[in-house]
Chain A
Amino acid sequence: MTEVDFTVEVCGMAGDGTIAVGGLINEAMSLGAFSVLGFDSYPAEIRGFGRCVTNSRIGSSEIVALGEQAHALISLNDEQSRSRVPFLAEDCMVFFDSAPPTKVTEDKSLLSVLPPGAQIFGIPFGNLAVSAAGSARGRNLTALGGFAAVCGISPDLFREVIGKKFGSKGDHIVSVNLKSFDAGYEYSKSVFANRLGNIFSDVESNAASPRVMLSGNQAIGMAAIDAGLKLYFGYPITPATPIMEYLAKYLPKQGGRVVQMEDEISSIAAVLGGFYAGARAMTATSGPGFALMTELITHGVMAEIPAVIIDAQRGGPSTGLPTKTEQSDLHAAVFGGPGDSARIVIAPTNVSECYYFVLKSFQLAEKYQTPVIILTDFFLDNRVENVVAPKASEEQKACSNVFPEESSKDNYQRYHYSSSGISPRAIPGMEGFNFTATGLEHTEKGIPDYSPETHSRMTEKRHQKLFSALVDLKEPEEFLSGDSLDVGVIGWGSTFGSIVEAVQRLRKSGFSVGALKISSIFPLHSEIIRKFMAKSTVVLIPELNYEGQLANLIGHLDSKPVERLNLVTGTPMPTSVIQERIYQLMEVLAQ
């Protein structure tokens, strides 16, 4: 059986239909039972100008990281596509418009900068679309048809997903798009008859079925609804906005409400209010919005009010790089805010975990009565994967609030000391369980009290809760490990896919390397992490931030210094960079 691992990029200007074509490729290949990981990048500015690029990696085995070198490039705008040339494989197939409306000078030509090994396929995208469907608007579909023909992908896969994508716009729109696709397909079958490939035709995919194509943000929205979310409060910000858009569409149908607030401060305040009142509530933001929420997050810590907060990280600080990815909010999520305000911070590493971590976050927030922060990032939010359809069990959806015993009625102490630090939480309106909730330090009854004894005990209690939470938090997970390792790589968030792939490649070459995934950023399963570090001669922590924020957090767990690999390029961590760094470390070890 042939294995396939194929990356295709689509590049164009905003408005060229670039993202649409990338999406159709993902959907079609998913329908063909391949594993797919897709990621789009687009300009920060509003539609109308700027480069759009989609990257789809398609495999017969599970794909865990983004493709670094494209095997095919579909260029909907040659001038913009020139920027993709460094990322093309040497023998990359390049599909371009061979009959653009105006002449092109060399400095704007894609073909003038292609490597000589590139296989070029000139297709008159616009002309074919006009002939087939009466408008050049379908030129992106014509390009897609050419790609399908040359790569030997069944056109029926594309026809089905085109029908689904445009079905809601009526039969006419479906028809013109299908005509444009077919025009490109038939043209390429005929003109490139002796150059047609069958990259995918004799491949039997290993990917488990059935699967659904989801982005990280969609998975988050879906999980929130499945968890029984009642209230979503938010303020739009890239890359978190799609979560609100998703919920605005689907949550009201489940009886919930989505409210766009005036800012992030009011958003988190409303979330705290919602949970305080007993309803599951959530907000999603990015770095700048998260910064605004900080004070009220600590209010949730102090008043022991649950909250679920998605921090979709992007390049920072400040407004930073709105449409670029980074993992630089870890310090802010764990430590941000006044006082000793420990809270739960978790970080999914893939789309499937986005679903299950959000689902879990509501139970964590309820049980431990504290804000739970889920750290995602632009790459994880926007990438799509065809995942095994996520489904929440009744147990996973169940409310995990620790309600007070009936016996404590009329003598209820909201902040009662306990060995776990967890105090039973009454919901306002429960008769006989009245209490005061305040951001001021308080007694077990909730009465403000600044005495040294109270503050010491309450601070201890709030932190004890967090340690208790470790039993419900996912333990660090070893991948491809062994009893002892030359290099142990520790990762978190969206970077972990690249780490696993790098380690996989190196282990195939006989290197003694392994990987540890940390999903619970705070509190930490320190003992497990310490053991992994101890058995590794060298510990490497790749992160998409400058300061090495995870390395700072866990570096003290072992006596030897950790090796850091920090990138702030705004792009996902390339597997090859990790691989190269491990090679370098191995070389040093060998000396």
Chain B
Amino acid sequence: MSRQSFVIIGNGPAANQAAESLRSQGSEAKITMLSKDSFRGYLPHLLPDFISGSIGEESLYFRPHAYYKEKNIFLRLGQKAVGIDFSKRRIFLEHREVISFDGLIIATGGKPRIPEYYQLFEDLMLTLKTPQDAKLWISKLKSVDSILMLGGDLTSLSLTRALLKMGKTIQFIINEDSFWPIPYSEEIYKAVAQRLESKGVQVVHCNKIRRVTQIDENLIEVDTDTCSVRTGAIGAFFGLVPDVRFLVRSGLDIDRGILVDEFLKTRFEDVFAVGDCAQVYHPALRNYWVSIGYQNAATLGKIAASNLLGSDLEALVAPESILDVGGVKVNTSWWTEF
């Protein structure tokens, strides 16, 4: 009998935890990790600290390349999956390679979301998802002192804290659509705004951005329905959108992310989805929930690995503990850290 082959698509916390768990639970299968990114797995919540200079680049990455060699895990960076044939258990890569698998864990994560109504100005906005994005921020911050933050997700608040520490001037337009799938209520909006202002951030109250104009390399003018703002750079933070576009016609059930049951299984046998790219069914809620944060993602990665090896572990993490959903209290847990 040929050796089993497990493939993990992704290289984030969920994917890495899944790979480690497969190996630590005694699997001797061939384990391949596919990542479209060319850099090692990193800790996204440390990116603001990297930008502010509090930590060096190496601290961002959670494992050296030698780890994968030691664990006999084939980490394939910069190699993008463009399709999957679940019936034949084959993955198609962008460079025309075809990989077969016996078990698959999809952990592609998410990518920065720019709402449709802002996509017109997308080229003038910086996002923060990867070390490369962070390097762009570092480069830009050398020549600008004021930043306009759009959105209001976890990353934006964390970055704001780092930028204030660097002595930068921050203006903030809180957007009600910034923390998918949890909507901002008026109560949350006020609480977040108050918190920001108490730290010296100027919150710009408006409903709409009408125009964004680049005056020169380091000066951008933003016209809103209430005022006009001049800034050196714009950061866009509207949460993440699951990176599952390549699976749209694959037969998987996809809403915003890949729909999986409480065991993290997709509708295909031995195929799992975890992390930011998945929506997990919760029997008590009779609805799907999403995971946010690297620790949650890693937990799900571990559960998926166990289940791929034959366990029946439920993703028991209660939605309340993931997002602290439950009114204002729920949301304070993420923004009061600021």
Interface residues of A (CB under 8 A from B): 90, 96, 98-100, 102-106, 109, 111-120, 122, 194
B65 touches A112 (CB 8 A): no
Given contacts A111-B95, A114-B76, contact A119 B38 (CB under 8 A): yes
Q: Is B78 an interface residue (CB 8 A)?
A: yes
Residues A120 and B38 in contact, CB atoms below 8 Å apart: yes
Instruction: Select which of B40, B69, B94, B98 is within 8 A of A106 by beta carbon.
Output: B98
Residue ID in chain A nearest B5 by CB atoms: A106
CB pair A106–B100 under 8 Å, yes or no, is: yes
Knowing A90-B65, A117-B65 are in contact, say whether A106-B79 is a contact too (CB < 8 A). Answer: no
Which B residues touch A90, using CB under 8 A? 65
Enumerate chain A residues within 8 angstroms of B254, measured Cβ to Cβ: none
Choose one: B40, B68, B74, B132; the contact of A112 (CB below 8 Å).
Answer: B74
CB distance from A96 to the nearest CB of B (A): 7
Instruction: Kindly state the separation between the CA atoms of A119 and B76 in the bound complex, as whole angstroms.
Output: 10
Contacts of B98 in A (CB 8 A): 103-106
Asked if B94 and A98 sit within 8 Å, CB to CB, the answer is: yes
- Give A139 Cβ to nearest chain B Cβ, in Å: 15
Q: Which of A100, A113, A114, A115 contacts B96 (CB 8 A)?
A: A100
Q: Could you list 10 A-B pairs, sorted by A, with CB under 8 Å?
A: A111-B79, A111-B93, A112-B74, A112-B76, A113-B74, A116-B65, A116-B69, A116-B77, A119-B38, A194-B132
Chain A residue contacts of B74, Cβ below 8 A: 112-113
B76 in contact with A104 (CB, 8 Å): no
Nearest A residue to B74 by beta-carbon distance? A112
CB of A245 to closest CB in B, whole Å: 40
A450 to B78, CA, bound (A): 80
Asked if residues B95 and A122 are in contact (CB atoms below 8 Å), the reply is yes
How big is the B interface, by class? 20 to 34
**Closest B residue, CB atoms, query A90:** B65
B window 187-246: CB within 8 A of A: none
Residue among B32, B97, B132 with the most chain A CB within 10 A?
Answer: B97
Q: Mark B96-109, 1 if CB is under 8 A from A, else 0.
A: 11111000000000
Proximity bits, B25-50, A CB within 8 Å = 1, else 0: 00000001000001010000000000
- For the complex, give the distance between the alpha carbons of A98 and B80 in Å: 11
B96 engages A111 (CB within 8 Å): no
B75 CB–A CB distance under 8 Å: yes
**Of A109, A117, A194, which one neighbours B97 at CB under 8 angstroms?**
A109
Docked CA distance A27–B69 (Å): 37
Chain B residues contacting A109 (CB-CB under 8 Å) are 97
Cβ contact within 8 Å between A116 and B40: yes
Determine which residue in B38, B78, B94, B95 has the highest number of CB atoms from chain A within 10 A of its CB, and name it: B95
Give Cα distance in the complex from A103 to B91, angstroms.
12
**Distance of B99 from chain A, by nearest CB (Å):** 5
Number of A-B contacts (CB under 8 A): 57
- Taking CB atoms, residues of chain A closer than 8 Å to B65 are 90, 115-117
Complex Cα distance A111/B33, Å?
12
Q: Which B residues have a C-beta under 8 Å from some C-beta of A?
A: 32, 38, 40, 65, 68-69, 74-79, 92-100, 132
Tell me the complex Cα distance, A232–B68, Å.
58
A465 to chain B, nearest CB (A): 60
Q: In this complex, what residue of B is CB-closest to A195?
A: B38
On chain B, the residues within 8 Å of A113 by CB distance are 74
Do the beta carbons of B38 and A98 come within 8 Å of each other?
no
A117 to B64, CA, bound (A): 9
**Chain A residue nearest in CB terms to B135:** A194
By beta carbon, the residue of chain B nearest A96 is B95
Closest B residue to A109 by beta carbon equals B97
Cross-chain contact B68 with A116 (CB below 8 angstroms): yes
Tell me whether A98 and B95 are in contact in the complex, defined as CB-CB below 8 angstroms, given that A115-B65, A116-B65, A116-B68 are known contacts.
yes
Instruction: Name which residue of chain A comes closest to B67, CB basis.
Output: A116
Further pairs besides A111-B76, A116-B77: 10, Cβ < 8 Å: A98-B96, A99-B96, A103-B92, A103-B96, A103-B98, A105-B98, A112-B32, A112-B97, A118-B77, A120-B77
Q: Which of B69, B78, B92, B99 contacts A120 (CB 8 A)?
A: B78
**In whole angstroms, what is the CA distance A117 to B97 when docked?**
20
Cα separation A104 to B92 with both chains bound (whole Å): 10
Q: Is the CB of A99 within 8 A of B95?
A: yes
Which residues of B sit under 8 angstroms from A96, Cβ to Cβ?
Answer: 95
Q: How far is the CB of A220 from chain B (nearest CB, A)?
A: 44
The chain B residue sitting closest to A97, CB to CB, is B95
Most B CB contacts (10 A, CB to CB) among A105, A112, A116 go to A116
Residue of B nearest to A102 (CB): B96
Nearest-neighbour CB distance to chain B for A180, whole angstroms, equals 20
Q: Provide the residues of chain B in CB contact with A98, threshold 8 Å.
A: 94-96
Bound: A122/B38 CA distance, A? 12
Q: Report how far A100 CA is from B97 CA in the complex, Å.
A: 9
The residue of chain B having its C-beta at the shortest distance from the C-beta of A119 within the complex is: B38
CA distance A115 to B132 in the complex (A): 21
A105 and B38 contact, Cβ closer than 8 Å, known pairs A111-B76, A114-B76, A116-B75:
no
A98 CB to closest chain B CB (Å) equals: 5
| Bound complex: CA A463 to CA B75 (Å) | 66
Residue in chain A with minimal CB distance to B132: A194
**B79 and A120 contact, CB distance less than 8 A:** yes
> Closest A-chain residue to B7, C-beta based?
A106
Q: Knowing A115-B69, A117-B65 touch, does A104 contact B77 (C-beta < 8 A)?
A: no
- A-B pairs, top 6 by smallest CB distance, nearest first, are A116-B75, A98-B95, A116-B65, A117-B65, A109-B97, A104-B97
- Separation of A103 and B88 alpha carbons in the complex (Å): 15
**Which residues from B are CB-within-8-Å of A117?**
65
Residues from chain A with Cβ under 8 Å of B97 in the complex = 103-106, 109, 111-112
Contacts of A114 in B (CB 8 A): 76
Q: How far is the CA of A104 from the CA of B97 in the complex (A)?
A: 5
Assess the A106–B38 pair: CB atoms within 8 A. no
How many Å lie between the Cα of A362 and that of B268 in the bound state? 79
On chain A, the residues within 8 Å of B32 by CB distance are: 112
How many whole Å from B283's CB to the nearest CB in chain A? 38
* Among A100, A106, A118, A119, contact of B99 (Cβ-Cβ < 8 Å): A106
Question: Hey, which chain A residues are within 8 Å of B79, CB to CB?
Answer: 111, 120
- The complex places the Cα of A194 from the Cα of B139 at a distance, in Å, of 13
Q: Which residue of A lies closest to B40 (CB)?
A: A116
Contact A104 B96 (CB under 8 A): yes
CA distance A90 to B76 in the complex (A): 13
Residue of B74, B96, B132 with most partner-chain A CB within 10 A: B96
Q: Which residue of B lies closest to A121 (CB)?
A: B78
Could you tell me the distance in whole angstroms from the C-beta of B175 to the nearest C-beta in chain A? 29
Which residues of chain B are near A116, meaning CB under 8 Å? 40, 65, 68-69, 75-77
Question: Could you tell me the distance in whole angstroms from the C-beta of A102 to the nearest C-beta in chain B?
Answer: 8
Residues of chain A lying within 8 A (CB to CB) of residue B68: 116
B255–chain A nearest beta-carbon distance, Å: 31
